[in-house]
Structure 1
Amino acid sequence: MASTILSFSITVKSNFIFTSGSNSAPPPYSSYFLNRFKFAQQLKGKPRRRLRRKLTSSAVMFSENPVINDFIATAMSGGIALSLLRLWEETAKRGLFDQKLNRKLVHVTVGLAFMLCWPMFSSGRQGAVIAALVPFVNIIQILLLGLGIRKHDATVKSMSRFGDHRELLKGPLYYASTITLACVIYWRTSPIAIAAICNLCAGDGLADIVGRRFGSHKLPYNRNKSIVGSIAMAMAGFLASIGYMHYFSSFGYVQESPEMVLGFFIVSLAAALIESHPLSTELDDNLTVPLASVLVGSFVL
């Protein structure tokens, strides 16, 4: 009995000496569990992210068939865009807002609301092309109205500065074309699409609204633009870009990072500077702002 106790104490003591800092190699079972622990630490969080993306993707799919899913998504996003257009047509018809303010409310809301619908579409080129059909239909409508082939005074009034149908062939046409091309070329996995649409819709839209209301101090190189309007444009475009970066990141389409945030700030600042230039007024803000966003974004995003 005494020998058994002595043998047990020696075994425990030897194990204690090993675990207390001996340079001897660990026994096989210790190495096994140590490696398992390290492997688990390396994988910690990864399955959860994959599961989150899988659940998110399945939540936005209306059908297992991608084609059926995309047409359902098209109907829903088109319905949302059409509802907004009808809303602003009614406000223009009833004179609830100043015509220029009403036009800018269309400008701000329609593009941003449509971009919120992008996760409903399937991944890949098919989803991008089918999603682009929504603004493309609007392009056709704008051409018909702008060329005078179709008459609809409420729509013309909600989209134009002075109620002239020919105005639709410039700003509104550039606006719809930007969103269409952003869908087809860049889509939801590119921060350039986010920057182009956010600076066009939120940035340029808020610049006009804020500038007209509070813009008493004009820019020295362009008396048609105000300092506060340019600041509002840069801030609105930047904040909207950050919001959509986080939104698309939650679906796994982009990877948000401090570098991307800085890139969005540079793009919004550049877009605001371009918008404030007199040449931008002559050409059209709806053309110069997205072009500047895409060009600068290609280098910093």
Structure 2
Amino acid sequence: MYGRRTDKMETSYFFEVKRQLVHLIVGVCITFGVYVLEPLVGKVIVLPLMLSVVVMLVLPRIGGELKVHNHLLVHFERPKDIRSLPYRGAIFYCLGITPAILLLDINTACAIIAILSIGDSTSTIVGRKYGRHRIGHKSIEGSIAFVFSSFFGALFFLPDDLIKAAVFALLGGLTELSNIRHDHLLLDDNLLVPIALTLVALLTRIPPFM
């Protein structure tokens, strides 16, 4: 039903690059969509995200014969996620960024979404290719790429707050690196990174420094 792809293919660098490029493009589109629409429609902007979660949870149970559904699973989902929780990354992405949108100002929220979207994709692409110093399934090289790339994404939404953008990018990279239990269903970077950064933003309310 889901096509033929073995677990060995899951480790293919090309497959991961393809997945992460989709993650990056969709994430950037969501980031700018929230940035443009939230001032117009308010916090109800999260409703499409929640609807998407419902659809992704229901679709594997009722959409076995849908070509689009099967295409997405075969070409963009890891076999272990197909077996345990199809669309896992996308589901946790939507759930993870929702608190930021609801609880924070739009610039900080979009900075966090950008950090997740850009940093997570970049760290995987760089880490898979150039990672030599491993920590679990992560790498120091990938985490450095996370911090540097996500910093510029955050800075776009926080142009007057260089320190805040840098601190958030660094904390996002450390959170991503510390999550070595990738086999645990609930310990997903798409959930942990934005939740951690949202909590930091709420607890510190980092003021502008520059």
TM range (shorter): 0.7 to 0.9
Change (3 A) 1:158 1:142: farther
Cα contact 1:203–1:236 (8 A) shared by 2: yes
Structure 1 residue 177: Cα displacement? 1.7
Cα contact 2:136–2:180 (8 A) shared by 1: no
Change (3 A) 1:119 1:204: closer
Change (3 A) 1:175 1:295: same
Which residue of 1 is the match for residue 151 of structure 2? 238
* CA shift digits 1:195-219 (9 cap, x unpaired): 321121101111001111111x124
| Partner of residue 276 from structure 1, selected from 177, 180, 188 | 177
| Partner of residue 127 from structure 2, selected from 208, 211, 217 | 211
Count, aligned residues: 185
Structure 1 residue 157: Cα displacement? 3.1
Change (3 A) 1:278 1:123: closer
Single out whichever of 205-214 and 112-121 deviates more from structure 2: 112-121
Cα contact 1:200–1:286 (8 A) shared by 2: yes
- TM-score in terms of structure 2 length: 0.75
Cα contact 1:175–1:286 (8 A) shared by 2: yes
Change (3 A) 1:98 1:122: closer
Structure 1 residue 156: Cα displacement? 2.0
Which residue of 1 is the match for residue 194 of structure 2? 290
* CA shift digits 1:112-145 (9 cap, x unpaired): 1122133543637x4330x223323321221123
Q: State the AA in 1 paired with 2:168.
A: V
2: CA distance, partners of 1:230 / 1:119: 26
Single out whichever of 114-123 and 233-242 deviates more from structure 2: 114-123
Question: How large is the Cα RMSD of the aligned pairs?
Answer: 2.5
Cα contact 1:268–1:293 (8 A) shared by 2: no
Which residue of 2 is the match for residue 101 of structure 1? 17
Gaps of 5+ in 2: 1-12
Matched residue of 2:138: which SS? strand
- TM-score in terms of structure 1 length: 0.55
The structure whose Rg is larger is 1
Gaps of 5+ in 1: 1-96, 247-255
Identity, % of aligned positions: 28
